[in-house]
A and B are shown apart, each in its own frame.
Chain A
Amino acid sequence: GAGVSQSPRYKVAKRGQDVALRCDPISGHVSLFWYQQALGQGPEFLTYFQNEAQLDKSGLPSDRFFAERPEGSVSTLKIQRTQQEDSAVYLCASSMQGVGTGELFFGEGSRLTVL
């Protein structure tokens, strides 16, 4: 596609529900990132994939958070037993390469509200 596509754009969940957020990166981009952005804050790193390999998941807040990219393209971020503190915008970004010279192309984000 022309850009990074994320769905759903908005998700309201009751506390305790599971949610799945989808990211469709730019075709051919090797690297894929998930960031969490709270209101008024900068994006916080969650996890990084190079192709299908999850090379870094150090930013995932708890074991309720799980991400996958099984075929090296589309990625899903799953949050189990959602809590109110999980409310945030979840941004996906892709990049052609894994080194620092690669600009990140972000999607529009998925805004999660946990009631």
Chain B
Amino acid sequence: SQKIEQNSEALNIQEGKTATLTCNYTNYSPAYLQWYRQDPGRGPVFLLLIRENEKEKRKERLKVTFDTTLKQSLFHITASQPADSATYLCALDMYRGTYKYIFGTGTRLKVLA
């Protein structure tokens, strides 16, 4: 079946370390992949978009990679801080280049002080 998989279990890491979250997909050929952050009781907030022809994208302490051969995106937060604790969602365009984004189940990240 078509789906997007993210680490279903929570990820706990020590402050200052790099957090790495994975997003794997099957049966899609997305042109774009987005990452969002969601805090409890809030709506998702856009973080980064990466295109299929981009291997890597950076924004401050965030880095996203996109491997269309492996059908995988990795999301890294370097020098993590307790304030980075949240659920992180990946999303891809279900129909290449169009409006319809579908989301993974999200990975809950907890950064320990």
Q: B100's contact among A48, A103, A109, by CB below 8 Å, is which?
A: A48
Residues 10-59 of B at the A interface (beta carbon under 8 Å): 30-32, 34, 36, 41-46, 49, 51
B75 interfacial by beta-carbon distance below 8 Å: no
Interface pair B101/A45, CB less than 8 Å apart: yes
Interface pair A100/B93, CB less than 8 Å apart: yes
Chain A interface, number of residues (Cβ within 8 angstroms): 29
Question: Which residues from chain B contact A44 at a C-beta distance below 8 Å?
Answer: 103
Please, could you name 6 A-B residue pairs with CB atoms under 8 Å apart, sorted by A? Answer: A40-B105, A42-B105, A50-B99, A99-B97, A103-B34, A106-B44
| Closest 7 pairs between A and B when the two form their complex, measured CB to CB | A106-B43, A42-B103, A100-B93, A103-B46, A100-B32, A98-B99, A42-B105
Chain A residues with CB under 8 Å of chain B are: 4, 31, 33, 35, 40-45, 48, 50, 55-56, 91, 93, 95, 98-109
